[in-house]
Amino acid sequence: MTEFINITSVQNDLIKYAVKLQNPKFRKSEKMIFADGEKTISGFINDNIELEYLFIKKENDIYKGANAKYVVFVTDEILKKISSVKTPSSVAAILKEPDISDSIFYNLNKIALFENIKDAGNLGTILRSAAAFSIDGIILFGDCVDLYNTKVIRSTAQNIFKLPILRTSDLSFIEKLKENHKLYATIVDSAKDFSKCKFEDKFIIAFGSEASGLTEQLRHLGDEAVKLAMDNNVESLNLAVCASIVFALIKLN
C-alpha cells in the first residue's frame, strides 16, 4: 500500500540521497536508479513499473495511478534541487535497479551487443530503437557508459525497461552464447552488406564504439563480418542511427 510523505526542506535526508544517486559510483553501490522528467515518469507509471519513491507536487495528479511505495509531496525548491537538468522537472522517482541474469540470454533469438559505447544520448536512442524494432535483448560489453545515467534514461523516452539489458566484460559468456547464436561483427571494411544478410534464428549483432569500432577480441569471435553500405562517399554514420537502421532491416528480414 502506498504511503504518503510531505517534505518541505532541501536538507531532508531523502532529498540528499536523491541528489547523491546522480553520482555514478554511489548509484552503482546502492543498485538504485534516479530518474526525472514528466515523460519518463509517466511512461514508468503507464507500464506499471514499481517505484520506491515518487517525488511530485500535490497538484500533479499522475501519482494516483503510480505503483509507488512512497509518494513524496515536495516543493518547487526541492524539485529544483534534485533535478538532473537545468530546467527542473515537475516529477522525479527513485527505483531499484533490475536484476538481469545472463542465463536468460541463451533463450533469446535477436541479441544486439555494443562494445565500449560511451555516449549516453546514443545509448538511450539505441535502446529506444531496439524496443521499437523487437530486438530481444541488449548486451553492453566492456567499458560502457552507465546504463542508468539520467541522460540515457531520458533518451530512451521511457523505454529502458522494455527489454533485458546485460552489462558484462566476460568474453567466455559471449563464447558460450555462440554455441547457439551466430555472431555478426559490424566492420566498416567488410565486403558484405546488411541488406544481403539472411539472419539465423538465433544471432548476435555486434557493434563497436564510434571512435574505434569493435576490438580485435570480438572481431575474431565473429562468424561473419558485415557493414551498412552507404552512398555518396559517406564514410560513417552516428552509431545510434546505424544501429536503428540495422534493427529495422532485421525486422523486415
Q: What is the pLDDT of residues 236-245, one digit of tens each?
A: 678 999 899 8
Give the mean model confidence (pLDDT) for residues 58-75. Answer: 95
pLDDT of residue 16: 97
| Residue 125 dihedral angles phi and psi, to the nearest 5° | -65, -40
Same domain, 107 and 91: no
Residues 75 and 128 in one domain: no
Instruction: Mark whether 90 and 119 lie in a shared domain.
Output: no
Residue 188 has pLDDT above 60, yes or no: yes
235 pLDDT band, cuts 50/70/90, is low
Quick one: cell of 6? 510531505
The angle subtended at Cα 157 by Cα 155 and Cα 158, nearest 5°, is 120
Look at residue 25 in the predicted model and tell me its pLDDT. 94
Q: Domain of 232?
A: 102-252
Q: Is there a single domain that holds both residue 47 and residue 170?
A: no
Q: What is the DSSP letter of 193?
A: B
Of residues 191 and 146, more confidently modeled: 146
CB atoms within 10 A of CB 194: 20
The residue among 38, 62, 96 that closes a domain is 96
> How many Cβ atoms from other residues are within 10 Å of residue 121's Cβ?
15
- Residue 162 is classified by DSSP as S
**Residue 108 scores a pLDDT above 80:** yes
**Domain identity same for 87 and 110:** no
Mean pLDDT, the chain, whole residue set: 92
pLDDT digits (tens, 9 = 90+) for 155-171: 998 899 999 999 999 99
Q: Are 44 and 95 in contact (CB under 8 A)?
A: yes
CATH assignment of the domain containing 21: 3.30.1330.30
What's residue 86's pLDDT?
Answer: 81
Taking the whole predicted model, whether its pTM rises above 0.85 is answered as: yes
Q: Which of 30-39, 93-102, 107-116, 193-202 has the lowest mean pLDDT?
A: 193-202
Looking at the structure, tell me whether residues 72 and 125 fall in a common domain.
no
Number of folded domains in the chain? 2
Nearest in space to 161 (alpha carbons), one of 28, 18, 33: 33
Domain of 158: which CATH number? 3.40.1280.10
Q: Are 114 and 138 in contact (CB under 8 A)?
A: yes
Please report the pLDDT score of residue 109 as a whole number: 97
Q: What pLDDT, on the 0 to 100 scale, is given for residue 238?
A: 85
Mean pLDDT of the region 59-72: 94
pLDDT for residue 234 is more than 70: no
The Cα–Cα gap between 121 and 119 comes to 6
Q: What is the pLDDT of residue 230?
A: 62
Distances (CA, A) of 61 to 73, 150, 154: 11, 23, 21
Q: Are 238 and 210 in contact (CB under 8 A)?
A: yes
Lowest mean pLDDT among 116-125, 147-156, 203-212, 224-233: 224-233
Query: What's the pLDDT at 232?
Result: 62
Contact by Cβ (8 Å): 137, 108:
yes
Q: Are residues 55 and 106 in the same domain?
A: no
The pLDDT of residue 128: 95
Percent of the chain with pLDDT over 70: 96
Asked if residue 175 and residue 122 are part of one domain, the reply reads yes
Of 96, 112, 146, which residue is a domain's last? 96
Q: Give CA 205 to chain center in angstroms.
A: 17
Helix ranges (DSSP H) in 8-70: 13-20, 24-30, 38-46
Same domain, 109 and 91: no
Q: Could you write out the three-class secondary structure of 69-135?
A: EEEEECCHHHHHHHCCCCCCCCEEEEEECCCCCHHHHHHCCEEEEEECCCCHHHHHHHHHHHHHCCC
Beta-carbon contacts of residue 24 (< 8 Å; ≥ 6 apart): 146, 149
What is the percentage of the chain residues whose pLDDT exceeds 90?
77
pLDDT for position 189: 73
Per residue in 40-49, pLDDT (tens digit) is 999 999 999 9
Same structural domain for residues 164 and 78?
Answer: no
For the chain, the C-alpha Rg in angstroms (whole number) is 20
On whether both 142 and 176 belong to a single domain, the answer is yes
Q: Among positive and negative, which fits the CA dihedral 26, 28, 29, 30?
A: positive
C-alpha cell at 78: 526541492
